[in-house]
Each structure stands twice: as C-alpha cells, then as structure tokens.
Amino acid sequence: RRTLTLKDQLASRYADLLYEGRWWSTEREALDALVEVTQRRVTGEVRLRLYKGTATVLARQSPFSLYAGEYATFEADGVYRQADAAGFIRLFGLPITIGARVAARR
C-alpha cells in the first residue's frame, strides 16, 4: 500500500520531467529504477468479466500474493494473537495521542 502511494506521488514528478523536456536527466533514470524495483513482483493472472463498460474481477493469483487463507481468521492459528491488536493500536495511535495532549496544553 505504501509503495502504491509512493508511486502515485512520483507520477506527477515524472510528468513534470517530461513536460520540462528533461527526459535524459539522471532524475528520470532514478525514477525509472524505482519503478523497475517495485514491479519485480508484479506477475500473475487475473480473470475479468467485461459487461456494459464495467470490469469485474472474478479471480486473481500471483506467486507473490501476501494473502494466505489459513491466516485470514481470528481463530487460534499460531500466527495472530488477539493481544497483538491492542499493542498495535496503541503504537499506531501514539502520534495522535501526543498531538492531543500538546494541543490541550495550549
């Protein structure tokens, strides 16, 4: 997800390079290298249904897929513990908590 966000941000920079006529710049080469690295694991098969201008994904598979059905559960599986969620939520929300405390002091 973060890689996709980065690629979206850099797409506008790439467009600027083209608009400015800087195709042969080292900056464009660096952006190309980033794209090449992020695409190494983009492979697989997708089945679509096309109907009246709409595309619906029917199936997808990739040897690099991060989805594992056996872990997509909240049951006991040895990989995920319910207690992990509480720590993650506290850590992920820490900047918001600190920001609220700083704002309250003002």
Higher pLDDT, 45 or 1: 45
**Would you state the pLDDT for residue 49?**
98
For 66-100, the pLDDT digits (tens) are: 887 777 766 666 777 777 888 889 898 999 999 99
Model pTM? 0.57
* Residue spans per domain, the chain: 2-61, 69-105
Torsion of CA 46, 48, 53, 54, to 10 degrees: -90
**Residue 43 — φ and ψ, nearest 5°?**
-160, 160
For 44-58, the pLDDT digits (tens) are: 999 999 999 999 999
